[in-house]
């Protein structure tokens, strides 16, 4: 007889977490592996993924790796075919371009939107047919609180993240009757390697104070939300953006 905690198990499922060599992607991948999923780590090169792959396998988890650049659709398709059927897709890749609007040309804007947003469309097209056939799937697109709370100096990143939020809702409407759920996961201020310089800056201290929790989040604090959305426990959660920001977006603080 199954118990309620069993609804958070992912035994027999295969999950791809893009951008999972480190940071939030790594923490989400590890949580899914601990819940029983076979996890496909992703990074730009095999060398980038190798340490995480070794750590996973040493811990006894079922884990493989896919290496491709998001902008290289041919490599993406080839690697995805090698990974086998995918039940859970967490699209976590998110490049940034922290420059003033006037410094971001049309080509720069298009390139970042391609990597952060258009690549998600390409990935979904590859995994959805199998999910429909199996009548089960989880699409989880990692956005950001800047999709709704914009800041200066990140126009292309903000546009791409806003697009991912809308894309997740569109997918929920498109595939809701097929056994697939589509949701967005919106992190706030996380103390990842990518944010190390910002964390140590006056702007980082301002963000810490802006958060009701008065601290930046540890990367591992994204894992529970990701596991929930990926699990059978979230079977009727569809078209939702789950925000993990310590209360930043719920408050009117400067």
Tell me whether residue 77 is exposed, middle or buried, using C-beta atoms within 10 angstroms of its C-beta: 0 to 12, 13 to 18, 19 or more.
Answer: middle
- Our answer to whether residue 252 is catalytic in this structure is no
- Label residues 194-211 b or e (16+ Cβ within 10 Å = b): ebeebbeeeebeebbebb
Beta bridge partners of 187: 244
Q: Are 167 and 141 in contact (CB under 8 A)?
A: yes
Question: What are the C-alpha distances in Å from 75 to residues 63, 71, 87, 253?
Answer: 20, 9, 20, 45
Rounded to a whole number of angstroms, the distance between the first and last alpha carbons of the chain is: 51
Q: Are 119 and 93 in contact (CB under 8 A)?
A: yes
Neighbouring CB atoms inside 10 A of 228's CB total 18
Q: Active-site residue among 26, 61, 157, 190?
A: 157
- Cβ neighbors of 246 (< 8 A, separation 6 or more) are 188, 189, 211, 212, 213, 215, 217
Catalytically active residues are: 157
């Amino acid at each position: 007889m199954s118990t309620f905690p069993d609804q958070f198990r992912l035994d027999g499922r295969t999950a791809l977490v893009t951008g999972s060599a480190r940071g939030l992607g790594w923490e989400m991948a590890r949580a899914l592996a601990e819940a029983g999923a076979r996890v496909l780590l992703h990074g730009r090169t095999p060398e980038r993924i190798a340490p995480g792959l070794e750590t996973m396998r040493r811990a006894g988890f079922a884990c493989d790796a896919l290496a491709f650049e998001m902008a290289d659709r041919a490599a993406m398709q080839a690697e995805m075919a090698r990974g086998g059927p995918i039940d859970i897709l967490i699209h976590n890749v998110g490049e940034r371009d922290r420059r003033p609007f006037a410094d971001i040309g049309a080509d720069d804007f298009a390139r970042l939107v391609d990597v952060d947003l258009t690549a998600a469309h390409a990935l979904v097209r590859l995994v959805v047919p199998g999910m429909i056939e199996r009548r089960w799937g989880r699409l989880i697109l990692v956005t950001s609180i800047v999709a709704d709370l914009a800041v200066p100096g990140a126009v292309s990143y903000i546009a791409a993240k806003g697009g991912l939020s809308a894309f997740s809702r569109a997918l929920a409407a498109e595939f809701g009757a097929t056994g697939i759920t589509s949701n967005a996961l919106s992190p706030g201020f996380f103390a990842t390697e990518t944010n190390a310089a910002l964390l140590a800056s006056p702007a980082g201290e301002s963000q810490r104070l802006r958060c009701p929790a008065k601290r930046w989040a540890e990367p591992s604090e994204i894992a529970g939300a990701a596991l929930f959305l990926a699990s059978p426990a979230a079977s009727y959660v569809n078209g939702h953006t789950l925000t993990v920001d310590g209360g930043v977006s719920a408050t009117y603080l400067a």
